[in-house]
Structure 1
Amino acid sequence: MYYEVYGKGEPLFLLHGYTQSSKSWKEYVKDYESKYEVYLIDLTGHGKSEPFKQEMSIKSVAQDLNSLIRHLGLKQIKAIGFSFGGDILYQLALINPSILKSMITIGAVGTWTIHDFPEYLKAFTFENRNNFPWLKTSHEGDEQIKGMMNQFKNYTVRLSNKELQSIKPEVLIIIGDDDEGMDFEEVVRVKKNLPKSDLWILPNVSHGAHEGETKNDFIIKSKAFFSKKQNQ
């Protein structure tokens, strides 16, 4: 599993979305490295990490991440996860309840299935890879890209109310109100059942609620959230 480390302080993990890599978080390092030891991770099957060797599951990727954290000898981390990365964090919180001090998820509530979005499967194919310019710059080659595209059909994960209620870290859920991949009834269920959670819904914003025009607001909000936890 490939990773890069920047800065000094509390460990802060930044996790990318499906078909992205740690490069998607590179421009955010400068915003956190003065206070945190920032870890940019290539999740299983992505970037410079090993390709998928078996059928992909969100839980198995979270187990790989947990193994990396143990290997690094870290007792507790803070983390931000976008989309796929956010779903991984919910699973990590179940696998290793004490490892996460607090976490932010963007465009993710821990439950999602590709079967609700057949148009995504139709668009996200290896044959259409040239339509997604970040693929060539983020990954090690066509075989890895093909592996990710082929595994997309296995992207399905669900958190029960009981599992949500057992999650220990404080969670900031960030959702754009134009995020077509998010079911707002599901967002409400997750918020209702997470013991310690805040919800920030951004108007007129789509899936990448931390990017573009909202980036500065996201940086301010995320720093305030993590500092609040640190002072408790």
Structure 2
Amino acid sequence: MAQVELNSIQLGNNGHPLVMLHGWGQNLQSLQPMGELLATRSQVHIIDLPGFGKSAPPPEDWDTAQYADRIHQYLDERGIERADLVAHSVGGRISIRLAHKYPERVRSMTLINAAGLKRQRTFQQSLRSQWIATIRNTFKISPLYRDELLTWHSQTYGSRDYLNAGALKGTFIKVVNEDLTELAQQISLPVLLLWGEADTETPVEMGHRYHSLFANSELITIPNRDHFMFQAEGAHLCSYYVDKFLDRLPVKELSR
């Protein structure tokens, strides 16, 4: 794959390597407060994903497999044999892909409000989604004002992340349409799931589904916390649970 320059920071020099991956539209600064807390016991690496923060964009539309390959390269570049992963939202998608594709390089995962599963919809929501898709497909074959109609459709029905994706729109479409159900079922390493019960972007029901899919997982749901539950004082709350989780890993894992 093409080499893409990554921007990253390292916090702490001691302890087991821990790699943190942010969500869509964010950058490493969003995770830095929590990373600073975790650095008291781990060697923390926080990465700007390609196309975000100060990292170079991917040379083409990437999916999560290509993002995972680039993080795998980062592990090689830093001499990290095996890492703990802490990831938010889309960063969770990439972590799952990395753990599935390179299981020997991942010791554990903490997924915070992770994306990657299809949202469960009511009958009415499914009808509306089908109606929106039908309108777009009709506009695609329109002999008149095709581009204008498609632009109107995107601006009217597109998500905030899609509208703000800019040059990454193709990547966004690839990433959000992936369903990682089968991959999650094949992952046996320890997984901590942290979920805000007030999350409307990746609802807590996704956390429960992930908990049933992973062979070795723990789910902690936190009332009144939304999709960005790790921000502000939430950094202390999340780092507390991550530290407790890492402390419970088998001692023999620490020597690998």
TM range (shorter): 0.7 to 0.9
- Please report how far the alpha carbon of residue 52 of structure 1 lies from its aligned counterpart in structure 2 after TM superposition: 2.4
- Going from structure 1 to structure 2, the CA distance change for 1:210 and 1:230 (only over 3 Å counts) comes to farther
Which has the larger displacement, 178-187 or 84-93?
178-187
Post-superposition CA distance 1:107-158 (Å, at most 9, x none): 1153258x979888343366xx6xxxxxxxxxxxxxxx63235643332221
Which of 103, 110, 113 in structure 2 is aligned with 1:97?
Answer: 103
Residues 1:212 and 2:212 are matched in the alignment = no
Residues 1:123 and 2:139 are matched in the alignment = no
The equivalent of 1:136 in structure 2 is none
The equivalent of 1:46 in structure 2 is 52
Cα distance in structure 1, aligned partners of 2:219 and 2:170: 33
Output the amino acid matched with 1:49. S
Q: Which has the larger radius of gyration?
A: 2
The equivalent of 2:166 in structure 1 is 146
- Please report how far the alpha carbon of residue 53 of structure 1 lies from its aligned counterpart in structure 2 after TM superposition: 1.5
Give the structure-2-normalised TM-score: 0.74
The equivalent of 2:8 in structure 1 is 3
Give the structure-1-normalised TM-score: 0.81
RMSD across aligned positions (CA): 2.6
Cα distance in structure 1, aligned partners of 2:103 and 2:207: 22
Post-superposition CA distance 1:52-95 (Å, at most 9, x none): 21113122111111111122221100110011111111000111
Post-superposition CA distance 1:23-73 (Å, at most 9, x none): 112222331222211101011111121112111312211111111112222
Cα distance in structure 2, aligned partners of 1:196 and 1:120: 38
Cα distance in structure 2, aligned partners of 1:7 and 1:187: 30
Residues 1:180 and 2:217 are matched in the alignment = no
Instruction: Show structure 2 runs of 5+ residues with no match.
Output: 1-5, 120-125, 133-153
Asked if structure 2 preserves the Cα contact closer than 8 Å seen for 1:15 and 1:85, the reply is yes
- Going from structure 1 to structure 2, the CA distance change for 1:187 and 1:6 (only over 3 Å counts) comes to closer
**1:98 alignment partner, SS class:** helix
Identity of aligned residues (%): 23
Output the amino acid matched with 1:157. E
Instruction: Show structure 1 runs of 5+ residues with no match.
Output: 130-144
Cα distance in structure 2, aligned partners of 1:66 and 1:29: 20
